[in-house]
Amino acid sequence: MEDLEPKKLALLRIEQILKRYSDFDHPLTQEEIAGHLEQDYGIVLERKAVSRNLSLLREAGLEIGTKRGGNYLETREFEDAELRMLIDGVLSSRYITARHSKELIEQLCGLSNQYFRAHVRHICSVDDWSKTDNQALFFNIELVDEAIGNKRQIAFDFNCYGVDKKLHKTASHTASPYQMLLHSQRYYLMALNEKWKNMAFYRMDHITNMRILTDTPLTDLHSVPGYENGIDYKDLACARPHLFNDKAQRVELLAADWMIDRIIEWFGTGVQMERAGENKVRVTLKASPAAMEIWALQYIDCVEVTKPAGLREKIRADLAKGQAAYAEP
């Protein structure tokens, strides 16, 4: 029985060998598959037995192609191009720690074959990217998922960076969690602050000491002013470029026509545009005034907010303060 036991695993091992060693450019002959079985798993199998197992795998639905007398896996859960995109996403995500990034990239590489892993060696070291050092992030995500599923409030500490470049507690919060959002390469918790009764967006990588309040049900989302119809994801994506919690308003602005591309990137194709003279466009959109104040200052040399008057006045005050700060002594 001991000699037969490894052979019972041959079917599974052959599938693993095809996943690890084969693709369209690297088909495996039955002799090569038998060699990997013996070398990697200590299973000795004749070529005819390898052939029978390949037939069984095909009958089970595994798509095995043939080329130059060899066999290769035709399809995988992810194409190599898709894996590259996922790896790039992990690398550029500042909310994932360097350690977790390395682990995720290793797991993603494991979804392809050894040849893919060789091609991604050129990717810049994870340690060279700007990453959070909050090791609690993934645990916090699990807790938020559980709290949302069980409709319970959560409590946590919120932190900000100090001059020592480390996170320090600034406040404790109790909140009703509704959603986690990826925004501008950051992961945010969308939750009702139970003390102030306003919707807030908390950086997930700045949260520590999170716990679920098992005896405290969360506030129903539809009872929160402005969310009677649920979450407007288009509003979150287009009207809140910096995820402020103020109410979106109608904003008008004049912009250089070369800004059209960037305006659509920030606010979507739902904005209204019309020509306003040579090389200028008049744009009407709906957005958070607080976010628009910051956004307009980014493009102050090519964007002029004309309405509402209150927002325009705030930007004028910001410019006055900036001019004073940069005035010659």
pLDDT of residue 225: 92
Residue 184 has pLDDT above 80, yes or no: no
pLDDT (tens digit per residue) in 96-105: 888 888 888 8
For helices 10-21 and 47-59, what crossing angle results, to 10°? 80
pLDDT (tens digit per residue) in 81-115: 888 888 878 887 777 888 888 888 889 988 888 88
pLDDT of residue 174: 98
Q: Quick check: 177 and 184 in contact, CB under 8 A?
A: no
Confidence of residue 1 (pLDDT cuts 50, 70, 90): very low
pLDDT (tens digit per residue) in 279-322: 999 999 999 999 999 999 999 999 999 999 999 999 999 999 99
Looking at CATH, the fold of the domain delimited by 137-231 is given as SH3 type barrels. (2.30.30)
pLDDT (tens digit per residue) in 139-149: 998 999 999 99
Average pLDDT on 162-171 reads: 88
Q: Does domain 249-325 have CATH number 2.60.40?
A: no
Average pLDDT on 18-42 reads: 92
The SS3 call for residue 253 is strand
Residue scoring higher pLDDT (182 or 126):
182
| Residue 203 identity (one-letter amino acid) | R
Q: Quick check: 24 and 65 in contact, CB under 8 A?
A: yes
pLDDT (tens digit per residue) in 204-262: 989 999 999 999 999 999 999 989 999 988 887 777 877 888 888 999 999 999 999 98
pTM: 0.70
pLDDT of residue 127: 62
The DSSP H or E segment spanning 212 is strand 207-217
Confidence of residue 2 (pLDDT cuts 50, 70, 90): very low
Cα-to-chain-centroid distance, residue 180: 10
Phi, psi (deg, nearest 5) at residue 318: -60, -45
Q: How many CB atoms are closer than 10 A to CB 91?
A: 18
Looking at CATH, the fold of the domain delimited by 5-73 is given as Arc Repressor Mutant, subunit A (1.10.10)
Residue 33 has pLDDT above 90, yes or no: yes
Sign of CA dihedral 109, 115, 116, 122: positive
